[in-house]
């Protein structure tokens, strides 16, 4: 049995398998992806996947763990920051989410599929809990702004749903994006800085006019 060796070789290989798996999960879903698919894409022997991760499900969990830790913690810091106004905090949150989602479209497609379904109850609940925590975090910022009367009386969790929902909707299909960016269907809008800026501008303008009195 393999016991978390620190050999750089095998760590690279594990990462390599995780990346191949993530791409396939995003493209074909968890059940739609076979271990043989993953092994072929990562160009390793079939048995190596179970050797390193124990099972397909544990590989999935390892992949979520690795990609999730990659982007944790930043948002919690924002909430207690005394230097920023509520509006600035909202802008930072929007920027952070747009940046993260567009930089890791595959991962967020996987998570979204996981939240839509309710297979793998443990994983599902974990994703839900992270989302609830983020929403509560956002809510308390909005509510402070409402108390200070710099924000209108809005529905905080639904405002958050609109921000995340807009980005997710863009992630749902590359092809749809390209139609409205005037690009060919194979183009990748997510790495296009111009497209990112366009999305950011839209969300900020929409949320600003929703939040602010004028």
Q: Which of 14, 49, 159, 190 binds a second copy (CB under 8 A)?
A: 159
Contact region with DNA (CB under 7 A), list: 42-50, 106-114, 131-139, 205-213: 42-50
Q: With binding defined as CB under 8 A, does residue 119 bind a second copy?
A: yes
Distance CA 204, CA 198 (A): 10
**Which of 72, 59, 57, 168 lies closest to 122 in space, CA to CA?**
57
Tokens representing 197 are 């800026």
Of a second copy, DNA, none, which one does residue 47 interact with (CB within 5 to 8 Å by kind)? DNA
Of DNA, a second copy, none, which one does residue 186 interact with (CB within 5 to 8 Å by kind)? none
Distance CA 120, CA 197 (A): 36
Distance CA 40, CA 160 (A): 40
- 39 to 5, 12, 79, 109, 134: CA distances (angstroms): 20, 15, 42, 21, 35
Q: State the minimum distance, in angstroms, from the CB of residue 38 to a second copy.
A: 15
Contact region with DNA (CB under 7 A), list: 39-47, 165-173, 192-200, 201-209: 39-47
Q: With binding defined as CB under 7 A, does residue 50 bind DNA?
A: yes
Of DNA, a second copy, none, which one does residue 5 interact with (CB within 5 to 8 Å by kind)? DNA
Q: State the minimum distance, in angstroms, from the CB of residue 147 to DNA.
A: 51
């Amino acid at each position: 049995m393999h016991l978390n060796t620190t050999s750089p070789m095998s760590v690279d290989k594990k990462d390599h398998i995780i990346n191949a798996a993530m791409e396939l999960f995003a493209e074909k879903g968890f059940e739609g992806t076979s271990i043989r698919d993953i092994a072929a894409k990562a160009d390793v022997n079939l048995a190596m996947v179970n050797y390193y991760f124990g099972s397909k499900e544990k590989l999935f969990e390892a992949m979520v763990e690795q990609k999730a830790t990659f982007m944790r913690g930043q948002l919690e810091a924002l909430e207690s920051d005394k230097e920023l106004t509520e509006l600035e905090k909202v802008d930072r949150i929007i920027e952070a989410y747009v940046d993260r989602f567009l930089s890791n479209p595959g991962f967020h497609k996987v998570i979204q599929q996981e939240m839509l379904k309710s297979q793998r109850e443990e994983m599902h609940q974990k994703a839900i809990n992270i989302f609830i925590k983020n929403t509560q975090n956002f809510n308390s910022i909005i509510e402070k702004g409402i108390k200070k009367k710099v924000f209108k009386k809005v529905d905080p969790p639904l405002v958050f749903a609109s921000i995340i929902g807009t980005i997710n909707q863009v992630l749902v299909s590359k092809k749809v994006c390209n139609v409205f960016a005037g690009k060919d269907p194979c183009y990748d809008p997510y790495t296009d800085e111009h497209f990112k800026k366009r999305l950011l501008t839209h969300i900020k303008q929409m949320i600003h006019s929703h939040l602010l009195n004028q």
